[in-house]
Amino acid sequence: EVQLLESGGGLVQPGGSLRLSCAASGFTFSNYAMSWVRQAPGKGLEWVSVISGSGVSIYYADTVKGRFTISRDNSKNTLYLQMNSLRAEDTALYYCAKDRDQVIAVAVGTFDYWGQGTLVTVSS
């Protein structure tokens, strides 16, 4: 059974940093691209970043580019999101999501499994 478990969320002041983790199990982690998707309270879904299974291909939404860094440790089956220079508008529930298709070097962009999310609140 595929499981994705996010952690690392919390309350942080504007300008601060936070690192989110997503522990994966139930599938061959290194064979699948992974994404972070966020949802501000009461709002819609916003894709944040994607990393291919190999870690070679990485893309970011314009709203986080230069501030957030996605990475993965395939030996630990874990996905990360390092978030720096946090702003109030980054307040959201952050989900990790698995690509549906097994493609190691690139990402496909169809998310068949999602975690339950970890809440990030940026406030003074």
Partner 1 sequence: DIQMTQSPSSLSASVGDRVTITCQASQDIRKYLNWYQQKPGKAPKLLIYDASNLETGVPSRFSGSGSGTDFTFTISSLQPEDIATYYCQQYDSLLYTFGQGTKLDIK
Contact set with partner 1 (CB under 8 A) = 35, 37, 44-47, 50, 57, 59, 61-62, 95, 100, 107-112, 114-117
Q: Which residues pair with 47 in a beta bridge?
A: 37
**Residue closer to partner 1, measured from CB, 62 or 75:** 62
Shortest distance in whole angstroms from residue 72 CB to partner 1: 17
Q: Which of helix, strand or coil describes residue 24?
A: strand
Instruction: Return the CA Rg of the chain.
Output: 14
Shortest distance in whole angstroms from residue 108 CB to partner 1: 7
**Residue closer to partner 1, measured from CB, 35 or 78:** 35
Shortest distance in whole angstroms from residue 122 CB to partner 1: 21
> How does 58-86 read in b/e, with b if 16+ C-beta sit within 10 Å?
ebbeeebeeebbbebeeeebbbbbebeeb
Q: Which of helix, strand or coil describes residue 40?
A: coil
**Residue closer to partner 1, measured from CB, 50 or 122:** 50
